[in-house]
Amino acid sequence: MRHAHGRARRAGAVLAAVLTWAGLLAGAAGCTADGTTPIDSVFGKGSAPKDVIRVTPEDGSKEVSPDRRLRVRIPDGRLESVKVVKSQDAQETPVPGRISADGLTWQPAEDRLALAAEYTVDAVAVDGHGRRSARHAVFTTKVPGRRFVGYVTPENRAVVGTGMIVSVEFNREITHRAAVERAIEVKAEPPVEIRAHWFGDSRVDFRPEHYWKPGTRVTVALRLRDVEGAPGVYGLQSRTFSFTVGRSQVSLVDAAAHTMEVRRDGELLATVPITAGAPKTTTYNGKMVVMEMLEVTRMNGATVGFRKKDGKSEYDIPDVPHAMRLTDSGTFLHGNYWAEGVFGEENVSHGCVGLRDVKGGGADTPAGWFFDRSLVGDIVEVVNSKDKTVAPDNGLGGWNMGWKQWKAGSALR
């Protein structure tokens, strides 16, 4: 399941002059296609903190009982921060809670979880040596009876980039796709033609032929209540929400030139040296959309099978700064503080796009500068990589599909 969650929305002032980071950037270790980096090249053998932050229910859990207790724990050190957000019908609500006096546990103010909701947990801890570690987890709770719900991207009242695609992920397979598609209405002001495309039986995306125009207001009506999505399975939701399209920002990553050109409303803001995927672990070509933005996150290769011969994780970075997810499979554009000498010079990552940063994340670094001027929904396009074009259902990659083919994926054609 694609997790659309934890989205920070950052927009900075437009720079008055073109910025060039040449000569400022140095160093990156490899980053896998799931957003991870070889641990030995990051910290040196055996020096990385362990996975100390434990979240229950576990990351990726589905149909969690509302009686299940939500807890964040560490065995030692202290929890620095815990942020929990509940999402229902595209509406995000902070979950109040507190960290215990000894700093080892966080628990919510109310023990009972909401039904038919998605919970996102972002926790940061500090161990006895002052090393920070982050954890990002998502789980969904039980949907009552023979009902289905759709988890929607983006959420209500969001301000997004011009590449945002409205995506609805269902908790059950939908066999009556035409009936469900007919019950979801997406309109724009000023008006533009918007069409649906199904990816399998549990996801439908909506977009116009071209990127949204800045200032567009998009309204999504979910009229799914009592709509039969599969034999004997009926919709639960009846809700209307909206979001606004902000300024246009398109960033062009040239994997061969090791640069990223950042354009705001068509004007060049900066040319930033980067590192992309190494020859054996190349970065996808094509148009990708920023799906979520994390000030700091953990990246662990074991989650996608990158393990050493002894079974240990091949990649594990506990505090990657300024991480922006581009695909479901784990391609990130993120800050890097752990190596030198490659930005603008060579490609050494395992699929991600890396920008120079400092430990803890620096506001005046290339990664911090870009993060602070980005929105969920911004476009990052990669060219000249020796890899295939990213699949249209890998993240919000639908812009890589032609309009005719896109329309052919509607159940109402």
Active-site positions? 334, 352
Angstrom distance (rounded) from CA 148 to CA 285: 35
Residue with tokens 């050494």, as numbered in its chain? 348
Burial call 346-368: b when 16+ CB within 10 Å, e when fewer: ebbbbbbbbbbbeeebbeebbbb
Q: H/E/C letters for each residue in 218-249?
A: EEEEEECECCEEECCEEECCEEEEEEEECCCE
DSSP string, 101-119: TTSSEEEESS-SPPTT-EE
- The encoded tokens of residue 370 equal 């870009």
The amino acid occupying position 317 is I
For 176-301, strand residue ranges (E) read 184-189, 194-198, 203-208, 217-223, 228-230, 233-235, 238-245, 249-254, 259-264, 267-273, 286-289, 292-300
* Residue 403 φ/ψ, nearest 5 degrees: -60, -40
Q: Using CA atoms, how far apart are residues 261 and 259, in angstroms rounded to an integer?
A: 7
**How many Cβ atoms from other residues are within 10 Å of residue 243's Cβ?**
24
